[in-house]
Amino acid sequence: MAGAGRRESGQAFPIYVVVVTGLLFAAFAFVVIGMAGAKRSDAQGAADAAALAAAQEARDSVFEGLDLVGLGRSDWEDILDGDRLTSQGACAKAAAFASMNAATATCEPAPPEFRVAVVTDGGVGKSVIPGTEDMKANATATAVIEPRCVLKAMPPPTSTPSPSPSASPLPSPSPSSGAGLPSAIGIRCKGGVDITLDPSKPGSLAQLARKLFSVRLAD
């Protein structure tokens, strides 16, 4: 009887080894799946950041090279509608942000949309599953620039009235009096926010652009 018990124990041991090995392999496989998921999440984060960076660069530079004093109403309407947005510098900014997140970006600009695809620089890493060390993650994201404001009715430019024939000639205005400067431009934004802009003293053009446009990731 004792010999039979030993034989049964000896026969069960290989099965036990096989089962334990299988369980360990399954556990390691789940770890690899988790690592792959984390790498995929990293790729998506890099794509989101790169796409937003591209759109924000395009938005912030919308006024670059423009003479605000010389713009007419139709010009301002085009700007506020987003028709003057360009992609200059946007893809370079996307590549820079992707690099900061250990990824390489491919940018497809089509203002007001910017689509970015990224590939992570590193793989999942060594594991029990062959080939995972070189397995890289991919992700895409699209950012959109949305207009927030419309142009209000623009008053005519201010000017010095002509003197009547019988009146004494008025002294010429000094250069600092503001005579002949373009009128302030009224802009109405979402939420009932009004902006009054003096084209001759616009302040930070990037800050102005951020008031006029919002940037978001596309659904």
How much of the chain, in percent, has pLDDT values that exceed 90? 54
Mean pLDDT of 99-116: 95
Domain presence at residue 172: no
Q: Give which of 56, 50, 79 is closest to 67, Cα–Cα.
A: 79
* Span 144-175, pLDDT tens digits: 999 999 998 755 555 555 555 554 454 444 44
Kindly state whether residue 168 falls inside one of the protein's structural domains: no
Residue range 181-191: average pLDDT? Answer: 82
Confirm whether 80 is domain-assigned: yes
Q: Is 170 among the domain residues?
A: no
What's the sign of the alpha-carbon dihedral 91, 206, 79, 151?
positive
The β-bridge partners of 109 are 114
Q: For 43-72, what is the mean pLDDT?
A: 94
Looking at residue 181, what is its pLDDT? 42
- Residue 131 region, left (φ>0) first, then alpha (ψ -120 to 50), else beta? left
> How many separate domains does the chain show?
1
Give, in order, the Cα–Cα distances in Å from 109 to each of 39, 95, 140, 186.
26, 12, 13, 31
**Is it the case that residue 61 has pLDDT exceeding 90?**
yes
CA distance 127 to 147: 49
pLDDT higher than 60, residue 23: no
Average pLDDT, the chain: 79
For the ranges 25-29, 68-72, 105-109, which has the lowest average pLDDT?
25-29
pTM of the model: 0.71
**Can you give the pLDDT at residue 132?**
57
> By mean pLDDT, which of 18-27, 74-83, 111-120 is the weakest?
18-27
Is 175 part of any domain? no
- Asked if pLDDT for residue 177 goes beyond 50, the answer is no
Mean pLDDT of the 194-202 span: 92
Residue 183: pLDDT band (50, 70, 90) is confident
Domain membership of residue 73 (yes or no) is yes
| Domain span holding position 54 | 9-159+180-217
Q: Which stretch of 64-73, 168-177, 183-192, 194-203 has the lowest confidence by average pLDDT?
A: 168-177
CA distances from 29 to 19, 134, 158 (A): 15, 16, 75
Average pLDDT over residues 64-73: 92
> What is the rounded distance in angstroms from the CA atom of residue 20 to the CA atom of residue 93?
51
In a domain, 4, yes or no: no
pLDDT at 209 > cutoff 70: yes
Strands (E), the chain: 103-110, 113-120, 138-147, 149-151, 185-189, 193-197, 213-217
Burial (0-12, 13-18, 19+ Cβ within 10 Å), 97: buried
- The answer to whether position 103 is within a domain reads yes
